[in-house]
Amino acid sequence: EVQLVESGGGLVQPGGSLRLSCAASGFTFSSYEMNWVRQAPGKGLEWVSYISSSGSTIYYADSVKGRFTISRDNAKNSLYLQMSSLRAEDTALYYCAKGDIAAAGIPFDYWGQGTLVTVSS
Amino acid sequence: DIQMTQSPSTLSASVGDRVTITCRASQSINTWLAWYQQKPGKAPKVLIYKASSLQSGVPSRFSGSGSGTEFTLTISSLQPDDFATYYCQQYNLYSFAFGQGTKLEIK
């Protein structure tokens, strides 16, 4: 069974930093793309970042480019999101999501339950 | 960047109704479009990918169509479990933008 478990969320002051993690199990992590998606309270879904299976290809949404860094450790079956220069508008539930575009054409086939990031003074 | 626009934003319908949600892309995305269902407090679930392919385990009352810039999600006969928010998503060029969502409510 595919499982994605996010952690690392919490309350942080504007301008601060936070590192999110996503622990993956139930599939061969090193073979699949991974993503971060966020959802502000009561709002819609916003894609944040993508990383290819090897980590060689990375994309970011314009809203986080230059402030957030996605990475992965295939030996540890883990995905990360380093967030810096945080703003109030970054407050959201952050989901990690597995992708399978290369083989099946499915962008996000499994999701975690999310970790909440609150940016406030 | 490619923008995705869904309509309507809210849809009121009854059990047994046939409903259609529309999604428009600001430029052609071929068939690189997915549909998701999200219920309150839960993570989204993929229903349709590549515009018209039904994800494994999703009931056949859900269907998707379209290509280029205009797409639809159709639920042929609404069931009580289908009342939720639906999002389209493009995955064409270097981004994975979502539409703003359509909340499907019980009439």
SS (H, E, C) B17-79: CCEEEEEEECCCCCCCEEEEEECCCCCCEEEEECCCEECCCCCCCEEEEEECCEEEEEECCCC
> How high is the pLDDT of residue B107?
86
The predicted pLDDT at position A102 comes to: 85
pLDDT per position as a tens digit, A51-64 = 999 999 999 999 99
Q: Can you give the pLDDT at residue B58?
A: 97
- Output the pLDDT for position B92: 84
Those of residues 83-102 in B touching chain A at CB distance below 8 A are 87, 89, 91, 94-101
Q: Look up residue A80 and give its amino acid.
A: Y
Among candidates A35, A46, A106 on the partner chain, residue whose Cβ is nearest the Cβ of B49: A106
The average confidence (pLDDT) of chain A is 97
Cβ B96 vs Cβ B49: under 8 Å: no
Closest by Cα among B73, B75, B69 to B90: B69
Between chain A and chain B, the number of residue pairs with CB atoms below 8 A apart is: 55
Query: Is A45 in contact with B101 (Cβ distance < 8 A)?
Result: yes
- pLDDT-above-70 percentage for chain A: 100
Mean local confidence (pLDDT), A35-46: 97
Strands A92-100 and A78-83: unpaired
Residue ranges in chain A assigned as alpha helix (H): 101-104
Q: Scanning every residue of chain B, which has its alpha carbon at the shortest distance from the alpha carbon of A57?
A: B94
Dihedral sign, CA of B41, B44, B47, B48? positive
| Closest CB from B1, B94, B100 relative to A44 | B100
| Inter-chain CB proximity A44 and B43 less than 8 Å | no
CA distance B59 to chain A (A): 16
User: Contact B50/A105, CB-based, under 8 Å?
Assistant: yes
Classify residue A66 by its DSSP letter: T
Dihedral of alpha carbons B30, B35, B87, A90, sign: negative
- Mean pLDDT over A68-95 rounds to 98
Q: Which positions in chain B touch A1 (Cβ < 8 Å)? A: none
Local confidence pLDDT in tens for the 107 residues of chain B = 899 999 999 999 999 999 999 999 999 999 999 999 999 999 999 999 999 999 999 999 999 999 999 999 999 999 999 999 999 999 987 889 999 999 999 88
* Per-residue tokens: A23: 């622990």
- Predicted confidence at residue A48, as pLDDT, reads 98
- Cβ-Cβ contacts under 8 Å for B47 (sequence gap 6 or more): B34, B35, B36, B37, B54, B55, B58, B62, B64, B73, B86
pLDDT-derived band at A103 (thresholds 50, 70, 90) equals confident
User: Residue A29: pLDDT band by 50, 70, 90 thresholds?
Assistant: very high
SS3 A56: coil
